[in-house]
A and B are shown apart, each in its own frame.
Chain A
Amino acid sequence: MVLRVTTLYASLERLEREGRIRSAGEEVVDGRARRYYEILESGRVLLEAEAERLAARAAAAQVSIARGAAARLSPAPLVAVSV
């Protein structure tokens, strides 16, 4: 997934407007202006909830992958062939 600079700053602005993050100063590094942001309490709560949701999905995916691997490893059913 590629995140464009425009999308990144639009998202940062939205999060700032919603009170999830706030600007925490600017400085010039190697001749380039940089802005730092810090996460606020409401943003942290949202982030934790999102991390838990993603972890639950990842766990469900792991279970599904493990089941698939187990199915592949189990021997094929015997078939009686009469001649």
Chain B
Amino acid sequence: MSARRRSSYRRLLRWYPVRWRLTNGEVVLETLEEHAEASGRSHPTQGEAWSLRAHGLAERVTPNVILVASGSALLLSLAPLAALWLGAVDESVGGLVARTVCQFLGALLVCLSAGALMLRGSELRPETALAATFGAVIAWTLGALAAASWSVGFNEADAGAARSWFGDATGLFLLGAVVTGATALTAVLAGVLRIGSWRILLASAIAVPGAVGLGVSAVIPPGMVVGAIAVFVTVALQLRASPASIERVRPVPVPLTTVQRHRLAAVALVAAVLGVGSAVFALAGSLLVPSVGDSTEAMRLGLLAGTLVAIITVVTAAFALLPRRRPAILAPTLAFVAALIALSVTYLLPMDHPLVWPLLSLAIVLVGLAGGLLLAPVLPRPRWLRGLLVAAISLAVAASVGFLVVSVAFWAPVLAVVASIILIRGPRQSPAASAEALSPAPPGLEADWARRSAQ
């Protein structure tokens, strides 16, 4: 037994968390020692050392760590958007640095969180994850430098000043970012794709445009917000799915009767027809009814009518979902209806009225809140964590897609048509449900089946 080798292994095992070392440290140390002794080695190999580091770090990537990382990514990605919305974009050098750091650190955290999710799901080996992490850190750092270099170069050219080396190096930074990003992505994809000898080639073919796409999404304000929400909600769902967090059994949903479905479908169809009429009036009202005034006035009246009609669509959809989502659908419906009312009021006021912008902002915030509240039932407990998650998701939805509410008069009729079709067709029966209908389950299994369906 070599004391030096043993001490090397013990040092490498410090990469694992303390709790893991207390449970497994000694057994793994002895196994490593035994293996090294059988191979006649006096010290750990490089491969073994990196494997221990990678596995040790992987043990530290818990769902809570991913939740914090993706939550931070969400906040960082939201900061430039919030500045944009509030009209507080700082054009100084400090502002540029802060904005670039927020965008690219947020993007890096989104990528690392997504990779960590794959690691937890055994889709990625810890060694590959560690190598990809190195690549991602370098790629996003070079990406941030490329963005900063472009801004500096633009300002220098705009001012007619001599170009500095930094302002001139955008292409070099960009090339470095794409190469390292594509390499990191290739490592990840090659681990995920299980298609034999062609996987490296295919992974590289996907990785190059993938790296470029990720870079572009980092500089487009809502791009990384959407990515951060996706990772955030996925990890929240994973936390919720853990056996310890399953706390209560929900009641089995009672489906709508055929008469109720057909009535709701009729209301949705009426809303669709009225919505299309409002949209047409908004676009061509001044031509169809000259007495209404100019095209701006027609647009205002059409949007007002379309927004009010959209309330009917939202309420109809809520009634359709009520048996399945009771009472979780009530709060988001109220928030969305409140948003539509706030938006309607802006169309009643003159365009330069001081209340127009605050009401529009309120409508966007309420749309975000509706999104956050809609996801609330699937978010993990305790209550404070769920509240925090709802707030973060609401902000993200408001900042990224909330502004789409201003065009609700144009897309609500499409939703109304889709809702009416779904309601007329009725719920699709799953094969399991059909089989159950044909051969009733034994009484003992019935309660268990109901409990599982409800979860």
Most buried by A among B27, B34, B48: B27
B30 and A10 within 8 A (CB): no
Q: Which of B27, B34, B126 contacts A26 (CB 8 A)?
A: B27
Q: With CB as the reference atom, state the residue of chain B lying closest to A9.
A: B28
Task: Say yes or no: is B26 at the interface (Cβ < 8 Å to chain A).
Answer: yes
Nearest-CB residue, chain B, relative to A8: B31
Question: B: which residues have CB within 8 A of A?
Answer: 24, 26-28, 30-35, 47-48, 51-52, 54-55, 58, 122, 125-126
Q: Is A4 an interface position by the 8 A CB rule?
A: yes
- Closest chain A CB from B19 CB (angstroms): 12
Q: A33-B30, A34-B27 are in contact. Are A14 and B48 (CB under 8 A)?
A: no
- Check B51 against A7 for contact (C-beta < 8 Å): yes
Nearest CB in chain B: distance from A78 CB, A: 39
- Complexed CA–CA distance, A5 and B58 (Å): 15
A63 and B310 alpha carbons, distance in the complex (Å): 66
Q: Tell me whether A35 is interfacial, beta carbon within 8 Å.
A: yes
* B1 CB to nearest chain A CB (Å): 8
Complex CA gap A35/B52 in Å reads 19
Whether A5 and B32, one on each chain, are in contact in the complex, defined by CB atoms closer than 8 angstroms, is yes
| A4 and B51 contact, Cβ closer than 8 Å, known pairs A10-B58, A10-B126 | yes
Residue of A nearest to B50 (CB): A6
Distance in angstroms from A77 CB to nearest chain B CB is 33
- On chain B, the residues within 8 Å of A72 by CB distance are none
**Total A-B Cβ pairs within 8 A:** 37
Q: Is the interface of A mostly helix, strand, loop or mixed?
A: helix
Kindly identify which residue among A10, A32, A33, A35 contacts B55, using a CB–CB cutoff of 8 Å: A10
The B interface is mostly helix, strand or loop, or mixed, namely: helix
Question: What string of 1s and 0s marks CB contacts (under 8 Å) between A35-46 and chain B?
Answer: 100000000000
Distance, CA A4 to CA B34, complexed state (A): 13
Question: B-contacting residues of A (Cβ < 8 Å)?
Answer: 4-10, 13-14, 26, 32-35
Q: Are A32 and B52 in contact (CB under 8 A)?
A: no
Please measure, in the bound complex, the distance between the C-alpha atom of A65 and the C-alpha atom of B349, giving whole angstroms. Answer: 83
A6 CA / B130 CA spacing, docked (Å): 14
A14-B122, A32-B33 in contact; A6/B27 too (CB < 8 A)?
Answer: no
How distant is the Cα of A12 from the Cα of B241 in the complex, in angstroms?
A: 22
Can you give 21 contacting A-B residue pairs, CB < 8 Å? A4-B47, A4-B48, A5-B32, A6-B51, A6-B52, A6-B54, A6-B126, A7-B51, A7-B55, A7-B125, A8-B31, A9-B24, A9-B28, A9-B31, A10-B126, A14-B122, A32-B33, A32-B34, A33-B26, A33-B30, A35-B27
Q: A6-B54, A9-B55, A32-B30 are in contact. List 14 more A-B contacts (CB 8 A).
A: A4-B48, A5-B31, A6-B48, A6-B126, A7-B55, A8-B31, A9-B24, A9-B28, A9-B31, A13-B24, A14-B122, A32-B34, A33-B26, A34-B30
- Among A4, A7, A14, find the residue whose CB has the most chain B CB atoms closer than 10 A: A4
Contacts of B122 in A (CB 8 A): 14
Pick the residue among B27, B54, B58 that contacts A33 (CB under 8 A): B27
Chain A nearest CB from B29 CB (Å) reads: 8
CB neighbours (8 Å) of B52 from chain A are 6
Instruction: Determine how close the nearest CB of chain A comes to the CB of B169; give it in whole angstroms.
Output: 41
Chain B hits for A13, CB < 8 A: 24
Complex CA distance for A10 and B16, rounded to whole angstroms? 12
Tell me, in angstroms, the Cα distance from A6 to B58 when the chains sit together.
Answer: 11
Nearest opposing residue in chain B for A2, CB measure = B47
Cβ of A10: which chain B residues have Cβ within 8 Å of it?
55, 58, 126
Select from chain A the residue with minimum beta-carbon distance to B56: A6
Instruction: Look across to chain B and name the residue whose beta carbon is closest to the beta carbon of A18.
Output: B122
Q: Which residue of A5, A6, A7, A33 has the most chain B CB atoms within 10 A of its CB atom?
A: A6
| Nearest 5 Cβ contacts at the A-B interface | A32-B30, A6-B55, A6-B51, A35-B27, A33-B30
Residues of B contacting A8 with CB < 8 Å? Answer: 31
Closest to B36 in A: A5
> Is A5 a contact partner of B30 (Cβ separation < 8 A)?
no
List of A residues within 8 angstroms of B35 by Cβ = 5
Which residues from A are CB-within-8-Å of B51? Answer: 4, 6-7
Which of chain B's residues has its CB closest to A28's CB? B30
- Inter-chain contacts of A9 with B (CB < 8 A): 24, 28, 31, 55
